[in-house]
């Protein structure tokens, strides 16, 4: 696939992968993106996961049309982008690797490459590499989301090769096919197609490193960018401010929606029933969006992304063995691990003889930054009862004032 006169997409779709990076379900698969820039010299941007190396090598060979491969730029050493390095160098032994000091330090941990030092071209922040009409500029992006990550800006075509940033789960061609089957009225913009899975990707994979993302956004904001080429998902060519703004919001731990996200763990279904009542009550009393998520049945990585989306969070959990119910415990520890912050939270606990979930949730939340817990929460004694309903109505009334719903 040609991206421009001199640039060819040589990446691959992985439709059959079930779990990405050992923890993320990817029902629509994922892409491993790789790009070839042809000029006086030929430069390849990154390799792919071991699941797809042979398909990718065929794409590279086809795109080169018998010309030599002079350089490989390595932006990120995580195996989904580096598994092809050794086989590529075996096939094209004269190819030199352009990358930074950390990549060259970590590379031998992944592969034994003979005479690696003779193949290395070391670059650092601000270095440039002309290879004909095209010139690469290197921008270090440490901890976005490994320490060795770098982005590359190509000056002639004004392309930002953004490494994992701006990537998304999902196979792009599948989206395209789906789009072709839809009527005009049902079609979504590329931004809409990108947004939910890009948010889940960002929050779960990069979410912890907001400060580092902010730093790299500042570095690239002075560049005129016409295309963003990430290592996963869509090549972004239009309305780039939309994507940059989303990254700015997510990395500064801001919210996209003023509404309320109710994350509920339920053991016998009674806590969930109570939260369905709370959702209806909130819907009647406020104009804000209210979304209920069943942590027990749904994939928790979606819940983490939704928690980042909304300004307000309600957490509902049974007490279990004198502690927190396991799914809520995992959810809160994941949020903490993603540096979740700047939110307003209300707590709902359930317990038959000694409800302790409120205290347990508080203990974890107190380790997060700038989370305001509502003064009054809700305690359910086993099931919804008249008193619980009264308590719920009072709490919603208080929230309306304190959260300005």
Interacting residue ranges for ligand FEO, rule: CB under 6 A: 76, 78, 80-81, 145, 164, 231-232
Least Å from the CB of residue 207 to ligand FEO: 13
Cβ distance to ligand FEO smaller for residue 305 or 380: 305
**Around Cβ 92, how many Cβ atoms within 10 Å?**
18
Cβ distance to ligand FEO smaller for residue 104 or 310: 104
DSSP structure string for 27-50: TT-EEE--EEEESSSEEEE----G
For residue 71, give the 3-state DSSP assignment: strand
Cβ distance to ligand FEO smaller for residue 76 or 312: 76
**Around Cβ 382, how many Cβ atoms within 10 Å?**
15
Least Å from the CB of residue 145 to ligand FEO: 6
Least Å from the CB of residue 240 to ligand FEO: 21
Contact 291, 283 (CB under 8 A): no
For residue 399, give the 3-state DSSP assignment: helix
The closest residue (CB) to ligand FEO is 78
Least Å from the CB of residue 83 to ligand FEO: 11
Contact 265, 328 (CB under 8 A): yes
Element of type H or E holding 9: strand 7-9
Element of type H or E holding 348: strand 341-350
Least Å from the CB of residue 264 to ligand FEO: 31
Task: Give the C-alpha separation, 398 to 377, whole Å.
Answer: 10
Cβ distance to ligand FEO smaller for residue 52 or 76: 76
Cβ distance to ligand FEO smaller for residue 144 or 332: 144
**121: phi then psi, degrees, rounded to nearest 5:** -120, 110
Cβ distance to ligand FEO smaller for residue 78 or 329: 78
DSSP secondary structure letter of residue 206: I
Least Å from the CB of residue 170 to ligand FEO: 13
């Amino acid at each position: 696939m040609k991206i421009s006169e001199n640039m060819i997409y040589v990446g691959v779709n992985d439709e059959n992968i079930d779990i990405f990076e050992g923890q993320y379900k990817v029902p629509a698969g994922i892409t491993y993106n790789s790009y070839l820039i042809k000029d006086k010299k030929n430069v390849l941007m990154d390799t792919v996961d071991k699941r797809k190396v042979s398909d990718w090598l065929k794409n590279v060979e086809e795109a080169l049309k018998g010309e030599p491969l002079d350089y490989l730029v390595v932006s990120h050493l995580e195996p989904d982008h580096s598994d092809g390095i050794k086989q590529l160098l075996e096939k094209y032994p004269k190819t030199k690797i352009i990358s930074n000091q950390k990549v060259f330090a970590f590379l031998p941990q992944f592969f034994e490459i003979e005479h690696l030092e003779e193949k290395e071209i070391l670059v650092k922040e601000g270095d440039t590499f002309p290879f004909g009409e095209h010139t690469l500029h290197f921008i270090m992006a440490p901890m976005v989301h490994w320490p060795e990550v770098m982005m590359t800006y190509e000056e002639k075509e004004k392309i930002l090769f953004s490494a994992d940033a701006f990537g998304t789960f999902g196979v792009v061609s599948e989206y395209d096919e789906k789009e072709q089957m839809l009527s005009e009225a049902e079609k979504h913009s590329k931004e809409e197609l990108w947004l939910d899975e890009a948010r889940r990707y960002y929050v779960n994979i990069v979410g912890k490193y907001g400060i580092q993302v902010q730093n790299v956004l500042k570095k690239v904001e002075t560049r005129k960018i016409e295309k963003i080429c990430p290592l996963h998902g869509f090549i972004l060519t239009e309305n780039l401010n939309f994507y940059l703004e989303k990254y700015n919001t997510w990395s500064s731990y801001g919210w996209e929606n003023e509404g309320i996200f109710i994350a509920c763990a339920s053991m016998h279904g009674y806590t969930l029933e109570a939260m369905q009542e709370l959702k209806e009550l909130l819907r009647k009393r406020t104009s804000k969006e209210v979304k209920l998520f069943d942590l027990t049945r749904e994939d928790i990585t979606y819940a983490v992304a939704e928690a980042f989306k909304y300004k307000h969070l309600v957490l509902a959990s049974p007490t279990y063995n004198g502690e927190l119910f396991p799914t809520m415990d995992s959810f809160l520890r994941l949020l903490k691990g993603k540096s979740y912050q700047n939110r307003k939270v209300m707590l709902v606990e359930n317990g038959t003889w000694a409800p302790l979930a409120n205290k347990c949730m508080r203990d974890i939340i107190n380790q997060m930054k700038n989370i305001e817990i509502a003064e009054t929460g809700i305690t359910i004694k086993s099931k919804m009862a008249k008193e619980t309903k009264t308590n719920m109505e009072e709490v919603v009334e208080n929230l309306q004032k304190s959260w300005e719903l």
